[in-house]
A and B are shown apart, each in its own frame.
Chain A
């Protein structure tokens, strides 16, 4: 269910590492828990983000949630489509619902992230 080619952060965010850049998004579990997403607040291009710190805000009918950066870096692109149509995150959390693209500043941090198998283990624990 969770793509094998992504790295996962315990706050239910993912990173797709593509050389020196990475794309961030939230996991299917996160969008499922939030329900209908109605607003997304993304930082501007050029903003520095720090692994484990909130860089964006996603709001559903039920609740507002922080999105945590899986890796540190500088925002080089934001997904305008999810700002205009936040439900894209519900529909396609791993593809069209990506949030930002980041130029990675600390490549070693990727080692701290989880594989899809490890992330599914975490979900199994949270379900208990």
Chain B
């Protein structure tokens, strides 16, 4: 895509890049950033987050702050979800849409005292910034904090307990999708009950100047409980296992919220927003395809682009695929024609030189507390 190449930014650098290298990370380029893929084993990092906790550097995420008396109207006009009821300290998952109702990005809007912080996907950060900027009300201003702030994710069943030992913030009083600011270790930070793993946890936003100290202190204080750094590789397998979508793969500008089963995000009657008219037209039409979960019954990972077949006939395409470390089976998200979008439907994946049986399921593939981890039979001795 020539346009993307033209817009490609120079390589961007995490405040912690040297720290990741010191920790032995394998670094890859992702969305113009040098990012840690893994510090050893992706599967071990995945299981650590499910069983104890892991620390991620996700500072590549775009961080856009909209302020001013026109901030609410500006952001509200860009997202299909009602955000006028958000109080400072509350957050909401939503999307940016094209005028034709396609998905530009999925984002989280954090209502702060001083405005709205939009955390957007790294691969979309510059485009989203320009998009928001073009749609700003005249009484609103946009600041791009991406290069100035670091964002860590502390995720896993032990994450909140560790955090509480290190902060004055009352972590117990923070339900999911809320946030608060205060000192974490000795550093000013914002603690947000959001994440991308399906586990309990937080994301922590801090100035780049404090990022190394915060990262090191968290790792040092958490090490006795098993805390270790986790890279982008496990971030992807964790989010997929939790049934969370990845923009650019599971949603694109040619995907509508209806195809994603995300009608619940849409406030079609309540307010005007970019894409609303198109969605009103699409609302009563049956989508041509729907996003489903798929579990492979055989060996082999159905990677992005894998054709989904019914008795040799193509009926869909995989948008994200991996192995589920918790289930020990291949899992995927994919788009299928609507008659196949029902749990239990039998299909096949067309892998390189063979087909593998699969079954349609309703994501998530793994839900905290619901699917018991695969453990050996505990026969009483």
Contact = CB atoms under 8 A, between A and B. Distances in A.
Nearest to B328: A38
Contact of A57 (B41, B237, B322, B352): B352
Contact of B299 (A39, A61, A90): A39
B233 A62 contact: yes
Nearest to A86: B299
Nearest to A59: B301
A93 to B, nearest CB: 15
Contacts of B323: 38-39, 61
A46 interface: no
A77 B119 CA distance: 54
A41 interface: yes
Q: Is the interface of B mostly helix, strand, loop or mixed?
A: mixed
B352 A61 contact: no
Contacts of B42: 35-36, 61-62
A48 B299 CA distance: 23
B338 interface: no
B121 interface: no
A68 to B, nearest CB: 15
Contact of B38 (A35, A59, A64): A35
Interface of A is mostly: strand
Interface string A16-60: 000000000000000000011011010000000000000001010
Contacts, number: 35
B41 A38 contact: no
Given A61-B42, A61-B233, A61-B322, A39 B301 contact: yes
A35 B301 contact: no
B300 interface: yes
Interface in B134-167: none
Given A35-B233, A38-B323, A61 B300 contact: no
Interface string B315-333: 0000000110000000000
A59 B233 contact: no
A36 B299 CA distance: 15
Contacts of A38: 43, 301, 323
Interface in B298-346: 299-301, 303, 322-323
Interface in B220-250: 233, 237
Nearest to A57: B352
Contacts of A57: 352
A90 B301 CA distance: 18
A41 B38 CA distance: 25
A57 B351 CA distance: 12
Nearest to B41: A36
B43 A41 contact: no
A73 to B, nearest CB: 22
A41 B299 CA distance: 9
A59 B296 CA distance: 15
Interface in A47-106: 57, 59, 61-62, 64, 90
A42 B233 CA distance: 26
A64 B301 contact: yes
Contacts of B322: 61
A36 B322 CA distance: 12
Contacts of B352: 57, 64
Interface string B284-300: 00000000000000011
A61 B38 CA distance: 12
B300 A59 contact: yes
Among all A-B residue pairs, the 7 with the closest Cβ atoms: A36-B43, A39-B299, A61-B42, A38-B323, A36-B42, A36-B41, A39-B300
13 contacts: A36-B42, A36-B43, A36-B44, A38-B323, A39-B299, A39-B301, A39-B323, A41-B299, A41-B300, A59-B299, A64-B300, A64-B352, A90-B41
Given A36-B42, A61-B233, 12 more contacts: A36-B43, A38-B43, A38-B301, A39-B301, A57-B352, A59-B299, A59-B300, A59-B301, A61-B237, A61-B322, A64-B300, A90-B41
